[in-house]
Amino acid sequence: MQEITLYDTTLRDGTQAEDISFTVEDKLRIARKIDELGIHYIEGGWPGSNPKDMRFFNEVQEIPLKHAQIVAFGSTVKSGTAPEEDRNLKSLIKAKTGVVTIFGKSWDVHVKSALRISLKENVKLIADTITYLKKQCDQVFFDAEHFFDGCKANPSYALQTVKAAAQSGADCVILCDTNGGTLPDQLCAMIKEVKRQVPKTPLGIHTHNDSELAVANSIAAVHLGIRQVQGTINGIGERCGNANLCSIIPNLALKLNYDCINKKQLAKLQEVSRFVYELANLQPLKHQPYVGRSAFAHKGGIHVSAIRRNPETYEHISPDVVGNVQRVLISDLSGKSSVMQKAKEFKINISSRDPVVHEIVEQLKYLESEGFQFEGAEASFELMMMEALGTKRNYFELVGFRVINERREGEHPVCEATIMVTVGGRTEHTAALGNGPVNALDNALRKSLEKFYPQLKETALIDYKVRVLSSGEGTGSKVRVLVESGDAQSKWGTVGVSENIIEASWQALVDSINYKLSRDEST
């Protein structure tokens, strides 16, 4: 089994993505998490560029990492400056990482236009920088920036920069598709030429996703003998992102049988993916391969029937291998198999021969034709199943509610909801204010019920989404409201549909409370 070393650049290249900014504390927490995944190298940032990165390198030394080595990143020596006097190189050495990565220009256009020096001088800067750092550090990696674009424009010069790095003692030369525009066949041809001219120096690959090929190009490079693969968690990075390690790692380990991380570490993949999304304040991509919530979700009735007999029929790997789970979605495409699978998940005892199963399927299809959607509202579907079986309990009855939304010139709107409910023969009449009509109604409903069901104080409305379902009817259109609620133990989704947004919201809010009380009663 051949070994591949994994190099993560989430904390440096990943932070160049739009809308992403990590604090030092964030970076330290992410470094710990990536280390748990078994990554070999974690690029911490550019210590010469800002005080925040220098602080990270100081504080990360206090963290006992089990697998990863921290890497400092920087550029080649500045033209006209001796390496020992270069401010950037001094910062790299001061970071005390033991491993540094230097990037240098391998595209003649950048040398002439960005650095504004001669091609010969640029080669000398690469050689001088690596020679100097090899005396100061345990390992020195060279990122041949824009290598593939450089090869397209001036192949002999691009190869000259790579050979200069190799001859100066670079421990690994990383070929970078910095603009992300190289196609796999082009990339493979160039890598073969590098291997022919620099046969002994280990090579790495660093790709960007501007052509949606970063993962494919990385895998193609490994097939040609590349032994270091760089990328970021979830593929975050500048423009369209970097190569996604959450796809590369399982492809290498499960599909190609390379030695990169072990099975226990691989099972943490989704956990690490979600962790980085959370600290980046980004919504996880549901349809992301391997780690996305929809990666092993099944909707069609035929598919569900098949995976109940044998998951391999519609799953390319077992989801638990990467820390994910199989899910069955409920929709108008569902059949008896889907309903039976959900009943199993909900711990509802029902026979597939019971006529009520057919009733549930028909009710499901009718409700979805009316605009309901249960894929993100499984709590509402569970309550619907319980109602069909006659096991659903109504914890309160609505007598009526009224919502007032008042706004006067020069003042903020004021929303008040008044509600009357009965619980066990007792009537409760309550009013509450809110930021909007739905918030006011939610507050009034909870306020009226908490004296009967104090556990509702633990529950919070986490998310609220409204979607207009019919077109051409303007403000009279039917809307679907999806509500996500949660407590300390779990989260659940509920749904409501109506031409009246307050009524649709009421339906979802009532389902949310009934689900919470029903679940607590059964545990």
Q: What is the pLDDT along the chain (523 residues), one digit of tens a residue?
A: 689 999 999 999 999 999 899 999 999 999 999 999 999 999 999 997 788 899 999 999 999 999 999 999 999 999 999 999 999 999 999 999 999 999 999 999 999 998 999 999 999 999 999 999 999 999 999 999 999 999 999 999 999 999 999 999 999 999 999 999 999 999 999 999 999 999 999 999 999 999 999 999 999 999 999 999 999 999 999 999 999 999 999 999 999 999 999 999 999 999 999 899 988 888 889 899 999 988 988 876 677 678 778 888 888 999 999 999 887 766 545 566 677 777 777 788 888 788 888 888 888 878 878 888 787 788 998 898 888 888 888 899 999 999 998 887 777 888 999 999 999 999 999 999 998 899 999 999 999 999 999 999 989 888 888 888 876 666 678 899 999 898 888 889 999 999 999 999 999 999 999 999 998 888 7
pLDDT at 32: 94
- Examine the fold and report which residue of 237, 261, 285 is the final residue of a domain before the chain moves on: 261
64/213 same-domain check: yes
- CATH number of residue 460's parent domain: 3.30.160.270
pLDDT at 463: 85
Place of tokens 């210590």: 47
Confirm whether 383 is domain-assigned: no
Confirm whether 230 is domain-assigned: yes
104/207 same-domain check: yes
50/186 same-domain check: yes
100/29 same-domain check: yes
Distance CA 48, CA 57 (A): 11
343/418 same-domain check: no
Distance CA 210, CA 204 (A): 19
257/303 same-domain check: no
Confirm whether 392 is domain-assigned: no
pLDDT at 335: 63
167/36 same-domain check: yes
- Angle in degrees, CA 402, 406, 411, rounded to 5: 155
- CATH number of residue 145's parent domain: 3.20.20.70
185/240 same-domain check: yes
Confirm whether 254 is domain-assigned: yes
348/494 same-domain check: no
Give the length of the chain. Answer: 523
- pTM exceeding the 0.85 threshold for the entire prediction: no
123/232 same-domain check: yes
54/128 same-domain check: yes
Residues 6+ apart with CB under 8 A from 347: none
Kindly state the DSSP code that residue 253 receives in the 8-state scheme. I
Confirm whether 499 is domain-assigned: yes
pLDDT at 477: 81
Q: Count how many domains the chain has.
A: 3
Confirm whether 389 is domain-assigned: no
Distance CA 191, CA 218 (A): 11
Could you tell me the sign of the dihedral formed by the alpha carbons of 371, 375, 380, 383, in that order?
Answer: positive
Could you tell me the sign of the dihedral formed by the alpha carbons of 314, 317, 320, 324, in that order?
Answer: negative
52/126 same-domain check: yes
- Examine the fold and report which residue of 244, 261, 278 is the final residue of a domain before the chain moves on: 261
Confirm whether 359 is domain-assigned: yes
Confirm whether 273 is domain-assigned: no
Burial 194-233 (b: 16+ CB within 10 A, else e): beeebeebbbbbbbbbbbebbbbbbbbbbebebbbbbbbb
For the chain, the 3-state helix, strand and coil shares in percent, each to the nearest 5, are: 45, 20, 35
In angstroms, the Cα distances linking 12 to 16, 118, 238, 264 are: 7, 29, 10, 27
- Residue among 74, 76, 122 nearest 100 (CA): 74
Owning domain of residue 461 = 397-522
pLDDT at 333: 53
